Amino acid sequence: MLNERLIAKTVAWGSRALQKRVPRRTPNQYLEGLFAPVSTECTATQLEIRGRIPAELNGLYARIGPNPLRVDNPAAYHWFTGDGMVHGVRLREGRALWYRNRWVGTDSVNRRLGRALAPGPRHGVADVVNTNVIGHAGRIWALVEAGALPVQLDAELSTVRHGYFDSAAALSYSAHPHRDPHTGELHAICYDSLARHQIRHVVVDRHGAVTRDLAVPVQHGPMIHDCALTAHHVVIFDLPITFSFGALLRGASLPYRWNGAHIPRIGLLPRTGNAAEVRWFEIEACFVFHAANAYELDDGEVVVDVVSYPRQFEQARGTGLDNSRTHLERWRLDTSSRVVRRQTLSEQRQEFPRIDERRSTQPHRFIYTVGFGVDRPRPEPLYRHDLQTGGITRHDFGPSQVPSEAVFVPRSAQSGEDDGWLLAFVGDLASDRSALVILDAAHVQDEPQAVIELPARVPLGFHGNWIPEAA
Ligand SMILES: [Fe+2]
């Protein structure tokens, strides 16, 4: 293990040198337009609001994404590898108290900004935390997969420390833990670019203690961006994008590529079982970044709703994602025949599936997604999928409006599924500004409940969550 770590560190160091040799003439869409990083952190307390902010929304909407401080060779830059920046809007009793954006205090960011390094342990060779921001056990955490530790943020989004929740360990984590609404536990499937022979099932309890870290053997170092959780199982997506030394040596900043030699399979790991108890289901080659939810039926069948790609990361070089054929699917895992039956729920090009997370691990009726550009940002709708009726309702934000992931916030703890709001940052291609848009989740086609204009652009990014005031 030590040798593997030393080799990986050496190769990673060499890779940074190799990235400088990638031909520079190639423009990079992930550094332009609505993707382009912003250059300053700001705090704004006088926000222009159209409509009415629901008085029930008391808390913080926070979302993270890449915002590189410096890019040595734009042609070698990959969207997934930029320094993280968190953007947040705090709402209280119908008012928008502030908007803030803050870089996540990784070492390279703090050095470049002339700031003191944050306390806490470190892990991995990638000094980037940019993929998700969650509230858990009274704390706010910025997350990334495969390497760097979570970074704790304070209530105003400044970095507090690096750490593995309340554990003294220093291990890779995931950007997509799933909370069991009944136990309050976070379940995640974690991988580590330095340990390509295994993945790990990690459980963090409702108080922030790491209570389980189970290794599961795999081959080739698969990229496992997300998992899904049922009442009794964790669903593992062991699909054919794997660590690629070839890509590393060609100067790729994200050395993962489509691997036709990797047998695609879905695993059902009992939540308290051991690695030998994983039931594997072979599946036609595809890739999944995100699952909406999963649940078990009475006959033992497991239903998993995902956004699926037939291929991804096939280019030997380049920074682009192939988003042209993404769509929403339902997978039914037949536990007696070990067959996965796939059904297309929506052929629309879309990503960032979210549900009312009180339904997590149980049957859900609604999934919310947003359109996702093929090559460059373009106006995209939000989709509300009613899986009971098969109906799809959409919200079109406007002729120059590009939405990010939409997060569902329930009206109250007791309100029904779909009774609440969807919150999303929306970028404007025309004005180069962004807004936080609040839609009525049950009537997404209607005019927004409120539009909170922001003083700056929120670059197109990844994931966020609603962190209620009490949390
Ligand atoms: Fe993600």
Q: What is the mean pLDDT of each run of 10 residues along the chain (471 residues)?
A: 54 62 70 94 98 98 97 88 97 98 97 97 92 97 96 98 95 97 98 94 98 97 97 98 88 88 98 98 96 96 96 68 84 96 95 98 98 83 97 97 97 96 97 97 98 96 94 51
309-to-216, 274, 463 alpha-carbon distances in Å: 25, 30, 19
**d(CA 373, ligand 1 centre) in Å:** 16
Q: Sort 430 into a burial class: Cβ within 10 Å, 0-12 / 13-18 / 19+.
A: exposed
Would you state the pLDDT for residue 245? 87
**d(CA 46, ligand 1 centre) in Å:** 32
**d(CA 33, ligand 1 centre) in Å:** 21
**d(CA 288, ligand 1 centre) in Å:** 10
**d(CA 464, ligand 1 centre) in Å:** 10
**d(CA 227, ligand 1 centre) in Å:** 10
Would you state the pLDDT for residue 141? 98
**d(CA 80, ligand 1 centre) in Å:** 10
Q: Report helix, strand or coil for 111.
A: helix
86-to-51, 73, 137, 460 alpha-carbon distances in Å: 25, 24, 19, 12
Q: Sort 220 into a burial class: Cβ within 10 Å, 0-12 / 13-18 / 19+.
A: middle
**d(CA 289, ligand 1 centre) in Å:** 6
d(CA 398, CA 429): 10
**d(CA 237, ligand 1 centre) in Å:** 13
**d(CA 351, ligand 1 centre) in Å:** 9
Would you state the pLDDT for residue 301? 97
**d(CA 276, ligand 1 centre) in Å:** 28
d(CA 175, CA 102): 18
**d(CA 117, ligand 1 centre) in Å:** 27
Would you state the pLDDT for residue 339? 96
**d(CA 131, ligand 1 centre) in Å:** 6
Would you state the pLDDT for residue 223? 96
**d(CA 291, ligand 1 centre) in Å:** 9
**d(CA 317, ligand 1 centre) in Å:** 22
**d(CA 226, ligand 1 centre) in Å:** 7
User: Of 284, 286, 296, nearest to 332 (Cα)?
Assistant: 296
**d(CA 211, ligand 1 centre) in Å:** 24
Which alpha helices (DSSP H) does 338-469 contain, by range? none
Length of the chain: 471
**d(CA 398, ligand 1 centre) in Å:** 25
Would you state the pLDDT for residue 14? 62
- Take residue 341 and report the two structure tokens written for it: 């039956």
Q: What domains, with CATH codes, occur in the chain?
A: 2-468 (2.130.10.10)
Buried b (16+ CB within 10 A) or exposed e, 120-149: beebbbbbbbbbbbbbbbebbbbbbbbbbb
